[in-house]
Amino acid sequence: MSAGIRSSGLAISIANNMEVLHVVPYLLLTPVVALIVNIMTEFSSNVATATLFLPLLAEVAISIGWHPLLLMIPATFSSNFAFILPIATPPNAIAHATGYLKSADMFIPGLILKAAGIVLLTILTPTLGKRNSTPTIPLPHTLIHFLVILLSLWLFFNL
């Protein structure tokens, strides 16, 4: 599917139409991309979602002057955030099939996990490597990682 999207020129065509996104800041575009992929992955397999979105996002990122990984990494991780519906992944279906969980029981915790995942991806993706230009987020990488670890520990012990 990925090769077909690229060889047909669909990815480049979509990317050319998305050039208006070059004025959208990273801290707005990345959560939107992650949210779209999150919604899609609830209704299709994780691999199919990633296969569909990754070539498109690579071309979009290049067309707006970004490194492709700045959109592809959040999309890749987001395609695995299938926490809400029983049909999203086999483990969800197994947990639902036991009869102890209803779909409504999975909705709120799944929504919280999705929101936390999107926030963490948005904050941490720019810290994965060095950039030649000024960093998008002016905080030092170690401070961001330290804050995320503190937040994770707090959530772990308070939930």
Q: Round to whole Å and give the CA distance between 143 and 128.
A: 13
For residue 67, CA distances in Å to 127, 135, 141, 144, 145 come to 13, 13, 18, 21, 22
Model pTM?
0.71
Can you give the pLDDT of all 159 residues of the chain as single tens digits? 666 766 777 777 777 777 777 788 888 888 999 999 999 998 888 888 888 898 888 888 888 888 888 889 899 999 988 888 888 888 888 888 888 888 888 888 889 989 999 998 888 887 776 555 554 554 455 566 666 777 777 676 665
Contacts of 44 (CB under 8 A, 6+ apart): none
